[in-house]
Amino acid sequence: MRPSRLAPILVTVAMLAAAPGASAQEMQHATHTPPKPAARRIEVPSGAVGIALPDLGVEIVAVRLTAAGGMLDLRYRVLDPAKAKPLMDPAVPISLSDPGTGTELQIPVDEQIGALRQSGSGIRPGQVLANLFSNPGHVVKKGGKINLRLGDLEVVGLTVEG
């Protein structure tokens, strides 16, 4: 990403991190109606690192707390660009959820730069990409388990790093 495009993202992340808690409106949005059950479900073995998802053409590198715990950073490595296209498609819904509280975490949308989600068509094998998700009220904690939802696929049991 070019430095000129990175500056607004950093400003947005800093503003989100400065807010110690979420507003009632953010919490309502975050805990909106639960999604319908996924058509495909992948269970992650406990303690797994570098989780390959051949159906998606990616390997989950990490899910980390960032912005003073106000956001989650999902990092993934592209293995097969053709299969990884849904991750880059803004029309395909993506979210994280905390199974303990039922909270669904969304990708924030900034008025100036749009969604904090990687998009585009120029992906290549080995490239590491990221999506940022809001963590209103700091519901998800280090060591917690979360689920990734992409379209009709759900990846269950990802561990959040600090």
Q: What string of pLDDT tens digits covers the 162 residues of the chain?
A: 444 444 444 444 444 444 444 443 444 344 444 555 667 888 988 767 788 888 889 999 999 999 999 999 999 999 999 998 888 888 888 999 999 999 999 998 888 877 777 777 788 999 999 999 999 999 999 999 999 998 888 999 999 998
pLDDT in the model for residue 34:
53
Average pLDDT for the chain: 79
- CA dihedral 99→100→102→106, nearest 10 degrees, is -70
pLDDT in the model for residue 139:
95
Instruction: Indicate the pTM of the whole model.
Output: 0.73
Contact present, 84 and 143 (Cβ < 8 Å):
no
Q: Which residues contact 77 (CB under 8 A, 6 or more apart)?
A: 58, 59, 61, 126, 127, 128, 129
Contact present, 27 and 137 (Cβ < 8 Å):
yes
pLDDT in the model for residue 12:
46
Residue type, position 103, single letter: T
Distance CA 16, CA 11 (A): 9
First to last CA, the chain: 24
Strands 153-159 and 40-43 turn out to be parallel
**CA 54 and chain centroid, separation:** 18
